[in-house]
Amino acid sequence: MRTLNVTLPGHSYPIHMGEGILDEYLPREVLKTRCDRVVVITNDTIAGLYPGRIDRALEGTGLRVHTLEVPDGEQYKSLETLSGLYDGLMELQATRKTLALAFGGGVVGDMAGFCAATFMRGMPLVQVPTTLLSQVDSSVGGKTAVNHPRGKNTIGSFKQPEAVVMDLSLLATLPPRELRAGLFELIKHGCIQDDDLFGFLEQNSGQLSSNDWGFWEEAVYRSCRVKAAVVEQDEKEAGLRAILNFGHSLGHLIETHAGYGKVLHGEAVGVGMLFAAFVSLKLDCLREDAFGRISDLLRPLVVPVELPPLGRREFDELLLHDKKASGASLRFVLLRRPGEALLRDGVTPEELWPLFNEFLDRMPEVLRVAGG
Amino acid sequence: MRTLNVTLPGHSYPIHMGEGILDEYLPREVLKTRCDRVVVITNDTIAGLYPGRIDRALEGTGLRVHTLEVPDGEQYKSLETLSGLYDGLMELQATRKTLALAFGGGVVGDMAGFCAATFMRGMPLVQVPTTLLSQVDSSVGGKTAVNHPRGKNTIGSFKQPEAVVMDLSLLATLPPRELRAGLFELIKHGCIQDDDLFGFLEQNSGQLSSNDWGFWEEAVYRSCRVKAAVVEQDEKEAGLRAILNFGHSLGHLIETHAGYGKVLHGEAVGVGMLFAAFVSLKLDCLREDAFGRISDLLRPLVVPVELPPLGRREFDELLLHDKKASGASLRFVLLRRPGEALLRDGVTPEELWPLFNEFLDRMPEVLRVAGG
């Protein structure tokens, strides 16, 4: 069992990680918030897999525990679902001292977090992430949001939790595809900021689809430590925090162009990281041997993606998030070596298009474009 | 023309006040935000009274100015209207560098503020309040919100603006009833924290419905200074800020029980302040002569209210914001003298009910209950 403390201006909170720690650490952290009640926000899948799990963990606290369920799936991360959560909280006569407890993956965490940020202008929040992706990514950093029909995470805010309790044994019920998708964000943290973590993952690559909780505790701890360090330096995304977008430029393009739900976010980021490493190599930022190490770690894990036909104009628009301005450019995250990222502003789709095509030629088993 | 600087942890901003200052101060403050564009959020009434007013003021900046209009009225301060604002911002391809400029009264300010707090997790915000109430109350303090069908301001957040520009000549088109309603919040600031302001208002009571901009500049400045001082000490409403709720316990009851829209918020607060002063007198907190001064200032201004029949149970529920818990109590704001408020926790509806009835007997020209 390990604990990581995240220290932000005006607010600190612990992240507890370990196998089977829920019953010990959750009641302790919930009591610390001095809340008047608990409202568990979860989805129907998790509620079905772990019926009454949180109620049991909190039995000894004497607190009333209510549950609000949302449907499972990114398509429900919407203002409509959020509005239903507000209705549920009003129905329960929740107050600004009622604790919102997010029990689920990234969608539940993002939506419950935004709900907690805005109901009565802010309720306390405790996160219990149940997927690898939400453990290493969305439960650290305070970004909360719902989607707008025209853009992911368009409506949101920054909301730091009072505590995060990660019981790694919850990963046992995670579909293998989701576990693998979460892995890419974990590896990303090694790539951009922590060569020790990168080396640890290289050495233990055989464990990456295991149920060895000791391995996962170490891996998740180190990964969260990277994200926490970045967020501590740049809570509101003024600069440094952008390195967390490593792999996300092409990742976003893949996710959108494939059609949401076809390719998991982590899978898209996995391919995007390979591409970003390739761009780093081609721009003489990353050495060939370092590129080889990144490629060796990622390629066996990557889930091949086949995209619909993709022309130059669409490539530009997707990369630039649909901004129509001609001559527009983006901030691209490059690698100098495993463990060191570099922000480069002013990268244009013009530059990236030939590299994208070269990448398609070089790694056809990773990414194909139909008709290409 | 006067400027008040509000200094909060991590953020400071100016409030400029004066007659006819819009064309000089608005472009200056807008340029300081280094925004990529401006989206004016206003309502149909203000847009009709001042067509193209903001566009003209910003002409020299070279910035593109768009306008999003919402319908006028508290009933439109809803998640639905907010959702329409998000749609409009997406349509305009607004970014987190686009400036949201709120041009209107409290409803527009609250809703535009919440929109700016949450679109892309935060856009810069400039407030141009057009009513006395929004000038002295909602544009200082950073509280933003929309209503839930079951509760006012239930969904919201704290969002500080980059600047507030109050052109007092905008008050010329404000209906006299709205001007008077705003006055009560202004007087409230004198009551709770500033005996000089209270004295200034006593001495100038003849000006309280005038168009003497010099008087208003002084009155609004002093009033905003009180609110800013309170907010500087307690941005997130941990304690002291609660004194701003002086008059709001009974005010909330009146507003809700009369039916929203029947009695203006400020009018309800006006009656509520008289009641709170009366309670302070009866609890031996406020001396008889001090009560007389408060009563002398408020009674000529108060708009008589007639409420539907009101039984004991409903009185309790409304005071306790519908919380059903028996034995529940509230935090009541008392006065010790003009300029000094006192928070008292644990005040029960049981205590207040006989005082309420005594108040009805003593001031029938202020408040009546049908069938009472």
Distance from CA of A119 to the nearest CA of B (A): 5
Q: Locate tokens 């408040």: which residue?
A: B367
Q: How far apart are CA B245 and CA B254, in angstroms?
A: 14
Distance from CA of B322 to the nearest CA of A (A): 8
- Asked if B137 and B171 touch (Cβ cutoff 8 Å), the reply is no
Task: State in Å, rounded, how far the first CA of chain A is from the last one.
Answer: 49
Helix, strand, coil in percent for chain B, rounding step 5: 50, 25, 25
Of B118, B154, B158, the CB nearest to A90: B154
Taking the domains of chain B in order of start, what are their residue ranges? 2-174, 177-369
Mean confidence (pLDDT) of chain A: 94
Structure tokens at A173: 């019920």
Contact residues, chain B, for A9 at CB < 8 Å: 9-10
| Three-state DSSP string of chain A | CEEEEEEECCEEEEEEEECCCHHHHHHHHHHHCCCCEEEEEEEHHHHHHCCCHHHHHCHHHCCCEEEEEECCCHHHCEHHHHHHHHHHHHHCCCCCCEEEEEEECHHHHHHHHHHHHHECCCCCEEEEECCHHHHHHHCCCCEEEEEECCEEEEEEEECCCCEEEEEHHHHHHCCHHHHHHHHHHHHHHHHHHCHHHHHHHHHCHHHCCCCCHHHHHHHHHHHHHHHHHHHHHCCCCCCHHHHHHCCHHHHHHHHHHHCECCECHHHHHHHHHHHHHHHHHHCCCCCHHHHHHHHHHHCCCCCCEEECCCCHHHHHHHHCCCCCCCCCCEEEEEEEECCEEEEEEEECHHHHHHHHHHHHHHCCCCEEECCC
Fold match, A2-176 / A246-372 = no
pLDDT of A238 reads 77
pLDDT, average across residues A289-294: 97
Of B83, B158, B324, the CB nearest to A79: B83
- Answer yes or no: is pLDDT of B319 > 60: yes
A156–B118 CB contact, under 8 Å: yes
pLDDT, average across residues B29-53: 97
B121–A145 CB contact, under 8 Å: yes
Measured CA to CA in angstroms, residue A208 lies from A130, A189, A215, A298, B66 at distances of 17, 15, 9, 11, 51
Q: How confident is the model at residue A21 (pLDDT cuts 50, 70, 90)?
A: very high
pLDDT of B237 reads 77
Q: How is residue B309 annotated by DSSP? A: P
Contact residues, chain A, for B93 at CB < 8 Å: 322-324
Short-list A282, A211, A214, A273, CA closest to A248: A273
Distance from CA of B297 to the nearest CA of A (A): 34
Among residues of chain A, what percentage have pLDDT more than 90? 87
Nearest CA in chain A to B238: A96
Of B10, B121, B151, the CB nearest to A156: B121
Architecture label for domain A2-176: 3-Layer(aba) Sandwich (3.40)
Handedness of CA B260, B261, B262, B268 (dihedral sign): positive
Partners of B65 in the β-ladder? B38
pLDDT, average across residues B165-170: 96
- Answer yes or no: is pLDDT of A160 > 60: yes
Distance from CA of A157 to the nearest CA of B (A): 4
Contact residues, chain A, for B119 at CB < 8 Å: 154-155
B360 CB near a chain A CB, below 8 Å?
A: no
The residues near B362 (Cβ < 8 Å, ≥ 6 apart) are B278
Contact residues, chain A, for B324 at CB < 8 Å: 93
pLDDT of A322 reads 57
- Asked if A130 and A103 touch (Cβ cutoff 8 Å), the reply is yes
Q: Which of A362-366, B210-214, B325-329 is modeled with the greatest confidence? A: A362-366
Interface test with B, best of A85, A91, A121, A155 (most B CBs within 10 A): A121
- Answer yes or no: is pLDDT of A133 > 60: yes
A215 CB near a chain B CB, below 8 Å?
A: no
Interface test with B, best of A79, A82, A89, A155 (most B CBs within 10 A): A155
Q: How far apart are CA B91 and CA A151, in angstroms?
A: 11
Distance from CA of B206 to the nearest CA of A (A): 39
- Answer yes or no: is pLDDT of B340 > 90: yes
pLDDT of B195 reads 97
The ipTM is: 0.91
pLDDT of B259 reads 84
Of B119, B155, B236, the CB nearest to A154: B119
Short-list B89, B338, B175, B161, CA closest to A150: B89
Topology of domain B177-369 in CATH is Dehydroquinate synthase-like, alpha domain (1.20.1090)
pLDDT, average across residues A249-273: 92
pLDDT of A14 reads 97
B121–A83 CB contact, under 8 Å: no
Range from A176-180, A197-201, B159-163 carrying the lowest mean pLDDT: A176-180
Distance from CA of B155 to the nearest CA of A (A): 5
A145–B79 CB contact, under 8 Å: no
Contacts for A239-245: CB closer than 8 Å, 24+ residues apart: A239/A343, A241/A141, A242/A331, A242/A333, A242/A343, A243/A192, A243/A193, A243/A333, A243/A341, A243/A343, A244/A141, A244/A188, A244/A192, A245/A331, A245/A333
- Answer yes or no: is pLDDT of A5 > 80: yes
pLDDT, average across residues A178-199: 96
B118–A120 CB contact, under 8 Å: no
Distance from CA of A196 to the nearest CA of B (A): 33
- Asked if B166 and B129 touch (Cβ cutoff 8 Å), the reply is yes
**Using CB atoms and an 8 Å cut-off, which of residues 166-185 of chain A contact chain B?**
none
pLDDT, average across residues A258-277: 93
B90–A122 CB contact, under 8 Å: no
pLDDT of A327 reads 63
A237 catalytic residue (yes or no): yes
Beta strand segments in chain B, E: 2-8, 11-18, 37-43, 65-70, 98-104, 125-129, 143-148, 151-158, 163-167, 305-307, 330-337, 340-347, 367-369
The residues near A69 (Cβ < 8 Å, ≥ 6 apart) are A42, A43, A44, A47
A327 CB near a chain B CB, below 8 Å?
A: no
- Answer yes or no: is pLDDT of B46 > 80: yes
Short-list A304, A298, A299, CA closest to A338: A298
- Answer yes or no: is pLDDT of A324 > 60: no
B154–A119 CB contact, under 8 Å: yes
Q: Identify the active-site residue in A16, A77, A189, A248.
A: A248
Nearest-5° Cα angle at A260, A257 to A263: 80
pLDDT of B238 reads 77
CATH of domain B2-174: 3.40.50.1970
- Answer yes or no: is pLDDT of B300 > 70: yes
Of B86, B93, B154, the CB nearest to A120: B154
Contact residues, chain B, for A141 at CB < 8 Å: none
A97 CB near a chain B CB, below 8 Å?
A: no
Total CB pairs under 8 A between chain A and B: 71
A200 CB near a chain B CB, below 8 Å?
A: no
- Answer yes or no: is pLDDT of A323 > 60: no
Of B9, B154, B157, the CB nearest to A10: B9
B86–A148 CB contact, under 8 Å: yes
pLDDT, average across residues A310-338: 84
Contact residues, chain A, for B94 at CB < 8 Å: none
- Answer yes or no: is pLDDT of B175 > 60: yes
Q: How far apart are CA A262 and CA A314, in angstroms?
A: 19
Of B119, B154, B156, the CB nearest to A155: B119
Predicted model pTM:
0.93
Query: In this structure, are strands B305-307 and A65-70 parallel, antiparallel, or unpaired?
Result: unpaired
Nearest CA in chain B to A157: B121
Neighbours of A231 (CB within 10 A): 23
Q: Write the Ramachandran bin of A323: left for phi over 0, alpha for psi from -120 to 50, otherwise beta.
A: beta
Structure tokens at B109: 């300010």
Nearest-5° Cα angle at B199, B193 to B205: 120
- Answer yes or no: is pLDDT of A44 > 90: yes
pLDDT of A191 reads 98
Q: Which of A12-26, B237-251, B255-269 is modeled with the greatest confidence? A: A12-26
Please tell me the CATH superfamily of domain A246-372, with its number. Dehydroquinate synthase-like - alpha domain (1.20.1090.10)
pLDDT of A372 reads 66
